[in-house]
Structure 1
Amino acid sequence: MKYLTLSACAVALTLAACGGGGGDAGTPVTTPSNNTSGTLALSLTDSPACGFDHVYVTVQKVRVNASADAAEDAAGWTDLTVGPTQRFDLLALQNGVLASLGQVPLTAGHYSQLRLVLAENGGATPLANSVVPTGGSEVALKTPSGQTSGLKLNANIDIAANQMADFVIDFDACKSVVTAGNSGQYLLKPVVSVVPNLTSGVSGYVDASVAYGGTHISLQQGGVVLKATAPDSSGKFVLAPAAPGSYDLVIQSPARATMVVTGVPVTASTMTAVSTSVAPLSPAPAIDGQAVGSIMVDGAPNTAAIAATQKLASGGLITVAETMSDSTTGAFKLGLPAAPPWVAAYAAAPASLVFAADVTAGLSYSFSASLNGTVKVVGPLAITAGGTLTVNFGF
């Protein structure tokens, strides 16, 4: 088994698969079969994790099926074997960095399901899948279905004859790793999307004072986080791949006011720059408060996705922070700035971004809990500097 912190095939910005086979869907390729076949190229990437320095997964293969409902032993599966099996640090796969999983020929047609098969923890590889909590030691990551049937992923992939379809498996590590009370255990409950590998997105710089892993930068539409990353040590960030459209860029860092750039345009095959190293984005200092609470289902603790949102004066919605509740206790905690967000409309260089405090949003947050397709909302409620706000959800 080959263990890597980051695949040697990882690439940044070019967003192409390793070995010269990458490209957007529709790139001509030569397949080893016939003119009724095309090729699927897959890569792996990630968003920031909450409270972890490393999140490792060991990938053995990816299975592909035309049917969204196909069981693991059904007909029609094609396997992309990752050879040799590789251990990836998901948190190294940010800022436009991808790790190639390989390519596989497929009969032309539509494919609706992927299964990501992980190696088992045990024997010579007790930490094949693991996490390193911030300030802690490496511990195993439990993957209940990952080693046998695989982690089921919904897909929307069209394979054309003699063409390559280039796609990315995009983890959301913050929502995918769940704590289990005081047991010291961590569970993988994957939140993963399968998206086209586009050469478009948003780039920029934040000030060196917030250039660390605790800073969370995201592209959003209607308060839905579609792509997120953390800046590198120089403050640079890259949010890609991102489909053409208009986005809100949201920057959140501990002890800083939220910073928002609205109406950021993304066009095909283009990286939109919102700031430079000479004029980086610098969120204003603020004092944080926190929201705490629990998720109960019929009186028993449960795991749900929690989000804190704010409504801007423009009427737009932004998500400021997200987390998962504890799988054993149902408890959650979110740090939130007790300060209005600073908002600017996008302006292309050489024009400057003009930020102003959004007093309409103020210190008020709404809180949502999402569980099995059901969403409960509480608020808006005001957060106070250094204070604690209790928000409980029952299903």
Structure 2
Amino acid sequence: MKNKTLYSILTAVLLIGSLVFAACKKDNQDAGGTTKVEIRMTDAPGDFDEINLNVKSVVLLSGGKPYTFTVDHGIFDILDFRIGTSNPDILVASGDMPSGEITEIRLILHDSGNSIVVDGQEQELKTPSAQSSGWKIKLKENPELVPGITYSLLLDFDAAKSIVATGNGKYMLKPVVRGITAATSGLISGTVLPIAAHPEVLVISGTDTVGTMTDLITGRFTVGGLASGSYKVEIVPVEGFIPAIIDNILVTAGQNTSIGVVTLQ
């Protein structure tokens, strides 16, 4: 009887252990990291006084799932923002989303507040279907968002092609917008050994410092969201180990600069 009870306990322990392992494995598989995205709008000139847009949200599709970036900027005249001027673009939304490939972008407007001014006269700008499914924005290629790197998604609005005269003195908006994605930051990564040193890693540029801790199991670290430029890395371990400093680490937007393995004494 005792042996049977012991066998049952061991079986239960093994079952629980396998379930925990499976859950941990799934978590690791699902943990793809996140990416910060800044969504901006700019305009190609059109022969109008104003084009006032009331943007509700921008929806990015990745991995078959929609991620909505709510726009709280209010109504703005897109003609005020042109590449090559003092106001080249306007930041309409920003936030984090799971890293991966963006397969679709949709621009969604509020059902009111959109207008056009022609020869000094303002009138409502009709926006059919803009409040429900929104407008799909053309991409030259699907961008792949890398964890830890910040991307700027520029929505280039073509005013001349987007405004359609309906023939009765009214105007309709059928946006012609192309999406341009560019990485605006880079990464510094590496490994610090021995694991027991468990240091804080400080990435420094001038008076700006970004810090992180090494992983307790692997000794690895990654610091993202870094603008292109030269950085100093200070490795500050626990008591008993000697700190280390690495100078002149060059960071390029969209790239991961690895410092390799640093072994502390």
Give the TM-score category using the shorter length: 0.5 to 0.7
Q: Check conservation: 1:157, 1:165, Cα contact below 8 A.
A: no
Establish whether residue 194 from structure 1 lines up as the match of residue 179 from structure 2: yes
TM-score, normalised via structure 1 length: 0.36
Q: Tell me what 1:163 maps to.
A: 149
Q: Which of the pair has more CA radius of gyration?
A: 2
Q: Tell me what 2:46 maps to.
A: 49
Q: How far apart are 1:104 and its partner, in Å?
A: 2.0
Q: What is the distance in 2 between the residues matched to 1:47 and 1:114?
A: 19
Q: Tell me what 1:177 maps to.
A: 163
Question: Per the alignment, do residues 65 and 48 of structure 1 end up closer, same or farther by CA in structure 2, a change over 3 Å counting?
Answer: same
Q: How far apart are 1:157 and its partner, in Å?
A: 2.2
> Which secondary structure does the structure 2 equivalent of 1:139 belong to?
strand
Amino acid at match of 1:174: A
Mark the runs of 5 or more structure 2 residues left unpaired by the alignment.
1-30, 185-251, 254-265
CA deviations over 1:275-325 (Å, ceiling 9, x no partner)? xxxxxxxxxxxxxxxxxxxxxxxxxxxxxxxxxxxxxxxxxxxxxxxxxxx
CA deviations over 1:219-262 (Å, ceiling 9, x no partner)? xxxxxxxxxxxxxxxxxxxxxxxxxxxxxxxxxxxxxxxxxxxx
Q: What is the distance in 2 between the residues matched to 1:142 and 1:180?
A: 10
Matches within 5 A, 1:198-213: none
> Which secondary structure does the structure 1 equivalent of 2:42 belong to?
strand
Once superposed, what is the RMSD of the aligned Cα atoms? 2.4
Question: Per the alignment, do residues 35 and 162 of structure 1 end up closer, same or farther by CA in structure 2, a change over 3 Å counting?
Answer: farther
Q: How far apart are 1:36 and its partner, in Å?
A: 1.3
Q: Tell me what 1:80 maps to.
A: 69
> Which secondary structure does the structure 2 equivalent of 1:145 belong to?
coil
CA deviations over 1:177-224 (Å, ceiling 9, x no partner)? 01111x12101111111113589xxxxxxxxxxxxxxxxxxxxxxxxx
CA deviations over 1:142-189 (Å, ceiling 9, x no partner)? 1101111111113322210111111200100010001111x1210111
Q: Check conservation: 1:158, 1:165, Cα contact below 8 A.
A: no
Q: What is the distance in 2 between the residues matched to 1:114 and 1:99?
A: 18
Q: Check conservation: 2:38, 2:151, Cα contact below 8 A.
A: yes
Higher RCO (C-alpha 8 Å, min separation 6): 2
Q: Tell me what 2:54 maps to.
A: 58
Establish whether residue 109 from structure 1 lines up as the match of residue 88 from structure 2: no
User: Aligned to 2:117, which of 132, 135, 155?
Assistant: 132
Question: Per the alignment, do residues 197 and 162 of structure 1 end up closer, same or farther by CA in structure 2, a change over 3 Å counting?
Answer: closer
> Which secondary structure does the structure 2 equivalent of 1:138 belong to?
strand
Percent identical pairs in the alignment equals 31
Mark the runs of 5 or more structure 1 residues left unpaired by the alignment.
1-33, 68-74, 122-127, 200-267, 270-395
Q: What is the distance in 2 between the residues matched to 1:154 and 1:45?
A: 15
> Which secondary structure does the structure 1 equivalent of 2:147 belong to?
coil
> Which secondary structure does the structure 2 equivalent of 1:77 belong to?
strand
CA deviations over 1:339-373 (Å, ceiling 9, x no partner)? xxxxxxxxxxxxxxxxxxxxxxxxxxxxxxxxxxx
Q: Check conservation: 2:35, 2:99, Cα contact below 8 A.
A: yes
Relative to its length, the structure with more helix (as a share) is 2
Q: How far apart are 1:102 and its partner, in Å?
A: 2.0
TM-score, normalised via structure 2 length: 0.53
Q: What is the distance in 2 between the residues matched to 1:48 and 1:153?
A: 18
Q: Tell me what 1:98 maps to.
A: 89
Q: What is the distance in 2 between the residues matched to 1:36 and 1:118?
A: 30
Establish whether residue 143 from structure 1 lines up as the match of residue 132 from structure 2: no
Q: What is the distance in 2 between the residues matched to 1:82 and 1:195?
A: 19
> Which secondary structure does the structure 2 equivalent of 1:162 belong to?
coil
CA deviations over 1:57-113 (Å, ceiling 9, x no partner)? 10111011027xxxxxxx610000112x51110110112521101212121111021
Matches within 5 A, 1:266-277: none
Q: What is the distance in 2 between the residues matched to 1:46 and 1:113?
A: 20
Q: Tell me what 1:37 maps to.
A: 34
Q: How far apart are 1:35 and its partner, in Å?
A: 6.1
Q: How far apart are 1:40 and its partner, in Å?
A: 1.3
> Which secondary structure does the structure 1 equivalent of 2:129 belong to?
coil
Q: Check conservation: 2:150, 2:183, Cα contact below 8 A.
A: no
